[in-house]
Amino acid sequence: MEDKTTSLSHCPIARAIDQVGEAWSILILRDALNGLRRFDEFEKNLGIAPNMLTKRLASLVEAGMLGRRQYSQRPPRYEYVLTDKGRDFQPVIMAMLTWGNRHLAPEGAAVLAADLQSGEILDPVVVDRKTGRIITHETTTTVPGPAANERIIARLAKNNALRNPQGETK
Amino acid sequence: MEDKTTSLSHCPIARAIDQVGEAWSILILRDALNGLRRFDEFEKNLGIAPNMLTKRLASLVEAGMLGRRQYSQRPPRYEYVLTDKGRDFQPVIMAMLTWGNRHLAPEGAAVLAADLQSGEILDPVVVDRKTGRIITHETTTTVPGPAANERIIARLAKNNALRNPQGETK
């Protein structure tokens, strides 16, 4: 990932992928958001090899998405708990859940989001916080923010010039 | 990915990752959503090796996220256009953008979402479509849908039993 991080270091999406753009990492976060904490819980639920799990957990701890906490002295045992940064990844998982259910579940949804208290089924959708308007590809673009460098500014200007929704396939 | 797809085949998040859980694929989708279509545009913008780009584009076409369309006869040239399935991935990218700006941009945001018409800056947030309530980890869980098999039902029941928000790190 080093090449991409260097060349695209100002893009928040590229940075996000650099931290968790690995299938196991996202599945571990999914499970952590679902309440799993202990090594053997992740291992059993994911069917992941222990050495790979050790590696991915260490990577998520290093990225500040999970905290490592000792819960047993003898034998020494650790659990992995979400930090704020890890918890804030939940909307990404919710957006993936929605997309997966829409496009990858021809037999119907196997997993749905629900309100923790009421159990009411939720339909996750991305909106603008202020106006509440649904954010779609057709109505949205990306623009340079205050910390944009010249490279990002040039790239986004070029991208916007290319946007031509009429020409896309239906 | 075969092992995971088999063992977690009913989870829409695992399926989503199986289709695009690769850094280049997500960056190509980001660029496609930004209006890029042509091989050399992707190649230049991403700094990706041509053989890797060929492979990832073919994979996204096979997954039904991009369509391949000839735009020149001599020489034969193709462009890659988003399908509905590819366009619908945009909320995932928006959620990643928001998370990246919040947690991976200490110097400030370099890229922001904006309304394509007005240019107004948007603050993407995941809400329940019906109630408009913001979906957070603290208030949300996942439950079996109509197509859940016994394995998913057991896993989600166990996960919900583990949920104990009070114990998480702040």
Per-residue pLDDT of chain B (170 residues; tens, 9 = 90+): 344 444 446 889 888 888 887 889 999 999 999 999 999 999 999 999 999 999 999 999 999 999 999 999 999 899 999 999 999 999 999 999 999 999 999 999 999 999 999 999 999 999 999 999 999 999 999 999 999 999 889 988 888 787 754 444 43
- Contact state of B148 with A100 under an 8 Å Cβ cutoff: no
Distance from CA of B151 to the nearest CA of A (A): 10
Helix, strand, coil percentages (3-state) for chain B, rounded to 5, are: 50, 20, 30
The β-bridge partners of A142 are B113
Encode burial over A114-128: b for 16+ CB neighbours within 10 A, e otherwise: bbbeeeeebebbbbb
CB B48 within 8 A of CB B24: yes
Distance from CA of B38 to the nearest CA of A (A): 11
Q: Which of B43, B8, B35, B61 is nearest to A142 (CA)?
A: B35
Give the up-direction half-sphere exposure of residue B170: CA atoms within 13 A in the CB hemisphere: 1
Distance from CA of B158 to the nearest CA of A (A): 9
Q: Pick A144's closest partner by Cβ from B93, B111, B159.
A: B111
Which pLDDT belongs to residue A162?
77
Q: How many CB pairs under 8 A join A and B?
A: 360
Length of chain A: 170
- Contact state of A124 with B121 under an 8 Å Cβ cutoff: no
On chain A, the residues whose CB falls within 8 A of the CB of B147 are: 105, 107-110
- Contact state of B23 with A21 under an 8 Å Cβ cutoff: yes
Query: Residue A29 burial (CB < 10 Å; 0-12/13-18/19+)?
Result: buried
Rounded to whole angstroms, the maximal C-alpha distance in chain A is: 65
Which pLDDT belongs to residue A4?
43
Tell me which residues of chain A, numbers 97 to 156, contact chain B at a CB-CB cutoff of 8 Å. 97-105, 107-117, 119, 121-130, 132, 135-149, 152, 155-156
Cβ contacts of B53 within 8 Å, gap of 6 or more: B24, B28, B39, B42, B43, B46
Beta strands, E only, chain A? 66-72, 77-82, 111-115, 121-122, 124-128, 140-144
Cα–Cα distance measured from residue A105 to residue A122, given in angstroms and rounded to the nearest whole number: 17
- Contact state of A33 with B137 under an 8 Å Cβ cutoff: yes
The token pair that represents A21 in the structure block? 């753009």
CB A59 within 8 A of CB A68: no
Which pLDDT belongs to residue A3?
41
Q: Which of B142, B89, B32 is nearest to A90 (CA)?
A: B142
CB B44 within 8 A of CB A154: no
Q: Judge whether B41 is closer than 8 Å to chain A, CB to CB.
A: yes
CB A21 within 8 A of CB B26: yes
- Contact state of B94 with A163 under an 8 Å Cβ cutoff: no
ipTM: 0.88
Q: Which of A26, A43, A46, A47 is nearest to A90 (CA)?
A: A26
Give the up-direction half-sphere exposure of residue A36: CA atoms within 13 A in the CB hemisphere: 22
Instruction: Scan for tokens 């998913």, then name that residue.
Output: B152
- Contact state of B1 with A13 under an 8 Å Cβ cutoff: no
- Contact state of B147 with A123 under an 8 Å Cβ cutoff: no
Per-residue pLDDT of chain A (170 residues; tens, 9 = 90+): 344 444 446 888 888 888 887 889 999 999 999 999 999 999 999 999 999 999 999 999 999 999 999 999 999 899 999 999 999 999 999 999 999 999 999 999 999 999 999 999 999 999 999 999 999 999 999 999 999 999 889 888 888 787 754 444 43
- Contact state of B83 with A113 under an 8 Å Cβ cutoff: no
Distance from CA of B73 to the nearest CA of A (A): 19
Q: Where does B12-133 have alpha helices with state H?
A: 12-20, 23-33, 39-46, 50-62, 84-87, 90-103
Cα–Cα distance measured from residue B96 to residue A151, given in angstroms and rounded to the nearest whole number: 21
Terminal CA-to-CA distance of chain B, rounded, Å?
Answer: 33
